[in-house]
């Protein structure tokens, strides 16, 4: 099916029991081999998108480092514009294109981000309107987006039926904890939604990588 919006891939590493991180927010679940695979995937996309909490908790760079390749644009969803300007993505925004997506009614001033080279997109009144955002990103020439979490951001994409592919590493840990972030957070579906198609299973030593398409 031909879509006018960018192609959306959800990428995550989860524990055997479906958690993205421990209850204290530790999320380095992937092996080095899996990280190399993820970085190979990153260089094939135009943009990597994450939610604000992932930046606040993990402070990731979201770059291509384990293999050679071009860094995708980094996109952060932060409806209130409350992210710390000291985050590594913000501090490196003059070198690597970075977009902060805020709502039209975001109370915080954005000058401190603009001064650091960050592009601001205002989209949606109080919450970020993802469909509209993808339309805007499509018009900017962004064709493939890798959504790298966390669970809340993943939920918004599933809820709006905006997911074309899922690439999921099952890592050999059981983390437990009712407050530990799961692969998909949010309200969840009341009815069983349309299924995804299992396209490929890769076994990489102690991990399994599952590839689903819609």
Ligand X SMILES: NC(=O)c1ccc[n+]([C@@H]2O[C@H](COP(=O)([O-])OP(=O)(O)OC[C@H]3O[C@@H](n4cnc5c(N)ncnc54)[C@H](OP(=O)(O)O)[C@@H]3O)[C@@H](O)[C@H]2O)c1
List residues near ligand X by CB under 6 A: 12-13, 20-21, 25, 27, 29, 50-54, 57-58, 77-80, 82, 127-128, 130, 148-153, 156, 181, 185
- Are β-strands 165-170 and 7-14 bridged in parallel, bridged antiparallel, or unpaired? parallel
CB of 180 to ligand X, least distance (A): 8
Tell me the residue nearest to ligand X as measured from the CB: 150
Of the candidates 34, 26, 24, which has an alpha carbon nearest to the alpha carbon of residue 206? 34
Pick between residue 46 and residue 150 the one whose CB is nearest to ligand X: 150
CB of 176 to ligand X, least distance (A): 15
Spatial distance between the Cα atoms of 108 and 33, rounded to a whole number of angstroms: 40
Q: Do residues 126 and 117 make contact, with C-beta atoms less than 8 angstroms apart? A: no
Pick between residue 13 and residue 93 the one whose CB is nearest to ligand X: 13
CB of 8 to ligand X, least distance (A): 12
Q: How many residues are there in the chain? A: 214
Span between the terminal Cα atoms of the chain, in Å: 11
Pick between residue 50 and residue 166 the one whose CB is nearest to ligand X: 50
Pick between residue 94 and residue 125 the one whose CB is nearest to ligand X: 125
Say which residues have a Cβ less than 8 Å from residue 179's Cβ, sequence separation at least 6: 23
Going 18 to 22 to 25 to 27, the CA torsion angle's sign is: negative
Spatial distance between the Cα atoms of 129 and 120, rounded to a whole number of angstroms: 15
CB of 205 to ligand X, least distance (A): 18
Pick between residue 72 and residue 150 the one whose CB is nearest to ligand X: 150
CB of 130 to ligand X, least distance (A): 5
């Amino acid at each position: 099916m031909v879509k006018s919006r960018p192609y959306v891939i959800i990428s995550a590493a989860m524990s055997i029991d479906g958690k993205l991180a421990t209850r204290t927010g530790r999320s380095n679940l992937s092996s080095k081999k899996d990280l190399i695979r993820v970085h190979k995937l990153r260089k094939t996309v135009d943009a990597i998108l994450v939610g604000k909490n992932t930046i606040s908790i993990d402070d990731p760079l979201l770059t291509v480092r384990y293999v050679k390749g071009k860094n995708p644009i980094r996109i952060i969803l932060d409806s209130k514009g409350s992210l710390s300007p000291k985050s590594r993505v913000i501090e490196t925004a003059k070198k690597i294109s970075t977009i902060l997506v805020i709502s039209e009614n975001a109370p915080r001033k954005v000058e401190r981000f603009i001064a650091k080279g960050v592009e601001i997109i205002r989209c949606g009144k109080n919450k970020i309107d993802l469909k509209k955002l993808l339309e805007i990103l499509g018009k900017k020439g962004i064709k493939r987006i890798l959504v790298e979490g966390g669970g809340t951001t993943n939920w918004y994409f599933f809820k709006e039926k905006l997911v074309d592919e899922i690439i999921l590493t099952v890592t050999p840990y059981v983390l437990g904890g009712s407050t530990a972030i799961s692969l998909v957070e949010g309200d969840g579906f009341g009815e069983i939604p349309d299924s995804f198609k299992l396209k490929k299973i890769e076994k990489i030593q102690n991990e399994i990588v599952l590839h689903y398409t819609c």
